[in-house]
């Protein structure tokens, strides 16, 4: 579980460095933010909570933003008596309408997310494991600040509805009660969408 976040951060650093170098080689004069069509970002604050997030946005016709995002969650063993060891990942597709017809703009849109938690624990001398898939849809709004250098800040909030369930082995009452406790303690704001990211636009 520790390897995946390191790989994500490594890939992000490599991609970020590549785009920065290519941009400098292509054009020594800084472009106007209104010309930027691409943006790649990560959320450094979320790392403190064990969440690693990377996203890419493509701006079409200056106002239609299409965002692809990947999250990985390393979850502490502190949410139930079973000390469940678990992790989660999610893929998010997000549409944003940019009101200022550029990356540097307020925006509003809709998102769809697929997320899955995988975990294992022990209760009453019984080992168990589970998967918890979740599909969410919702709306969100926010602001993206873009400087001439390409430095980018993004803040967004959203909410919607979700369809979440789980599959457990063994499928017993005690195991399911423990998983239900885990769900209510850790995943109590399931349809919530949030982003505070730092990145580079070009």
- Rounded CA-CA distance 94/41 in Å is 14
Picking from 32, 96, 25, the residue whose alpha carbon sits closest to that of residue 64 is 96
Mention every residue, 6+ apart, whose C-beta is less than 8 A from residue 189.
none
For residue 17, pLDDT beyond 70: no
pTM attached to this predicted model: 0.81
Per-residue H/E/C for 103-126: CCEEEEEEEEEEEEEEEEEEECCE
The domains located in the chain, with CATH, are 3-201 (2.40.160)
What's the whole-number mean pLDDT along residues 122-130?
Answer: 90
Is the pLDDT score of 33 beyond 80? yes
- What was the pLDDT predicted at 28? 46
How far apart CA 2 and CA 118 sit, in angstroms, is: 14
Cis link prior to 56 (omega < 30° from 0)? no
Do residues 105 and 59 lie in contact, with contact meaning Cβ atoms separated by under 8 Å? no
Residue 201: pLDDT above 90?
yes
Number of other CB atoms surrounding residue 61 within 10 Å: 8
Report pLDDT for 152.
97
> How does residue 45 score in pLDDT terms, banded at 50, 70 and 90?
confident
């Amino acid at each position: 579980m520790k390897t995946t976040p390191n790989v994500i951060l490594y890939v992000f650093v490599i991609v970020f460095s590549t785009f920065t170098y290519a941009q400098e080689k292509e054009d020594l004069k800084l472009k106007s933010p209104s010309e930027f069509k691409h943006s790649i970002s990560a959320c450094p604050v979320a790392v403190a909570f064990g969440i690693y997030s990377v996203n890419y946005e493509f701006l079409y016709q200056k106002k239609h933003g299409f965002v692809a995002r990947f999250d990985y969650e390393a979850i502490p063993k502190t949410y139930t008596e079973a000390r469940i060891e678990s992790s989660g990942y999610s893929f998010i597709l997000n549409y944003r309408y940019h009101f200022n017809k550029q990356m540097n703009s307020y925006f509003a849109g809709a998102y769809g997310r697929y997320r899955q938690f995988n975990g294992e624990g022990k209760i009453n001398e019984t080992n168990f494991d589970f998967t918890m898939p979740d599909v969410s849809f919702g709306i969100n709004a926010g602001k993206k600040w873009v400087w001439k250098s390409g430095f980018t800040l993004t803040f967004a909030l959203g909410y919607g509805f979700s369809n979440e369930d789980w599959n457990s082995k063994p499928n017993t009452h005690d195991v399911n009660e423990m998983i239900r406790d885990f769900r209510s303690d850790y995943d109590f704001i399931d349809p919530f969408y949030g982003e505070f990211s730092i990145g580079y636009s070009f």
